[in-house]
Amino acid sequence: MPEESTLPLTLSDVQRARQRISSCVRRTPLVPSVTLSERLKTNVYVKLELFQKTGSFKVRGVFNKALSLAPEINAKGLVTVSGGNNALAVAYTGRALDLAATVLMPENSPASVQEAAHGYRAQVKFASTAAEAFAQAAELERDGWIYIHPFDDPVLMAGQGTIALEILDDVPQVTDIVLSIGGGGMMAGVGTVIKALKPSVRIWGVETQGADSMARSLAAGKIVTLEAMTSIARSLGALAPSERTFAMAQQFLESVTVVSDKDAIEAARFLLDRLKVLAEPAASCTYAAAQRLQSQFSAGKHVVLLLSGGNVSLDVLTV
């Protein structure tokens, strides 16, 4: 484990983020689950980040970014490229802080995301290709807007790392954390905290087939870029990790388990039926992976499943 000063962010960064965003985000519940504990034959808890504002963890990072730059952005606003949870987080943060927000999204983005972003008073613009969307964002950034990257920003990572501070507060005996990986920003923030405060805790990454750029990159020992996203788990939508998140995954993760869309959907249906929570496949995949990892969890372990988001329509769970 490298010294804290050599990492892209530090425990102190996350602790400052916690103070900065505390009045803007929810401290989400972390509860034990008898049902999951019986099925996995160990002590299982669920971190219900799907109850966060906008339905996902993303607002933690976006609020931290916006508040850290508040004097700089008053004249312009926030801009991002996203058709999912990051779009909602940027739109919501803009409204909450009375800042302009522009969301550039693919034309085929879910109608629910488009409607929610409009509802948060963001300006929504459509692009026919990702290249076109990023070009428009770059133009706005040159004009003085603050670009909010989906994951590759240490300030965003620090905000998302506040989840780990809450986990350690609520379950100090935690031995394992299972979390999903998109671009790796949440993993980077959580890993920074855990390895600084309780390095014995094992962190297990999860991806779905067709959104498994981190797993492929770790296996290859170098960054691998997917040709296209083919998974139903839209929130795990990074074609490739960044240099930062790839390096931190190498340092922090035990492994990355790749599960099928079918398994992620079945896990979501089970969580809805038994725990009464609606997790999107990009979050429910943690339970699907935990079943595969069961041999790693002895009876005395304390395993936290991080349910990072719940933005999904019921028809997705019927395919």
Q: What is the pLDDT of residues 67-95, one digit of tens each?
A: 998 666 556 899 999 888 999 999 999 99
pLDDT tens column, 229-284: 788 876 556 889 999 999 999 999 999 999 999 999 999 999 999 999 999 999 99
Distances from the Cα of 264 to the Cαs of 197, 199, 260, 290, in angstroms? 31, 29, 6, 11
**Range 4-57+153-318: architecture per CATH:** 3-Layer(aba) Sandwich (3.40)
Cβ atoms of residues 288 and 267 within 8 Å: yes
Domain with CATH 3.40.50.1100 in the chain: 4-57+153-318, 58-147
Indicate the CATH number for domain 58-147.
3.40.50.1100
Q: Is the pTM higher than 0.95? A: no
- pLDDT at res. 2: 43
pLDDT at 109: 79
pLDDT of residue 6: 56
Six-digit token string for 26? 């929810």
Name the nearest CA neighbour of 159 among 193, 134, 118: 193
* Coil, helix or strand at residue 304: strand
Highest mean pLDDT among 125-134, 282-291, 309-318: 282-291
Dihedral pair phi/psi, residue 73, rounded to 5°: -105, 5
